[in-house]
Amino acid sequence: MTGLLSGFLLAFIGLAGGLAVGSGMVAFLVVLDIIPRLAQISRSYRSIRLYEGAVVLGAVFFTVTDLFQWKFRLFPLSAAVLGLFAGCFVGMLAAALTEVINVLPILAKRIRMEEYMIWLLMAMIFGKVLGSLIDWLGLVQ
């Protein structure tokens, strides 16, 4: 009886957590107009339905993959290829988000670096790349 109740409790907590995360992701994409803005920046507004479908399909596919713990046997460099695509996706989302809320101009103005904006941007990009490489290569334990 206790095992059944704990199973239901775990299922309820998992479902509630999934709904919270999914709602946050949808709110992020819809309220901030991330996908239309990405399509506008890349000048591919005609493919907006394709982008939306790809985001939804990707979310559903990887949720099911994680839920059923599917394993894929891919070629050795597949991690690099998939990592590149994931990095491009996250980077474009971050760029669209900062553009939508104008974070960088406000930051540059606050720290009085308006004329050095390109250097500020490059420092942020190279810092992210260097930090990711240090983490992926396991240089810091």
In which residue are the tokens 């990887």 written?
Answer: 62
**8 Å CB contact between 33 and 100:** yes
Read off the pLDDT of residues 62-73 as tens digits, 9 standing for 90 and up.
888 888 999 888
pTM beyond 0.75: the answer is no
Query: Which residues 6+ apart lie within 8 Å of 49 measured at CB?
Result: none
**8 Å CB contact between 25 and 59:** yes
Tokens describing residue 91 = 């980077």
Read off the pLDDT of residues 20-64 as tens digits, 9 standing for 90 and up.
777 777 777 776 777 787 788 788 888 888 888 888 888 888 888
Taking residues 95-120, report their average pLDDT: 75
- Exposed, middle or buried: residue 95 (CB in 10 Å: 0-12, 13-18, 19+)? middle
Q: Tell me what pLDDT residue 100 has.
A: 63
Tokens describing residue 107 = 């930051």
Read off the pLDDT of residues 80-105 as tens digits, 9 standing for 90 and up.
898 888 888 787 777 766 666 676 67
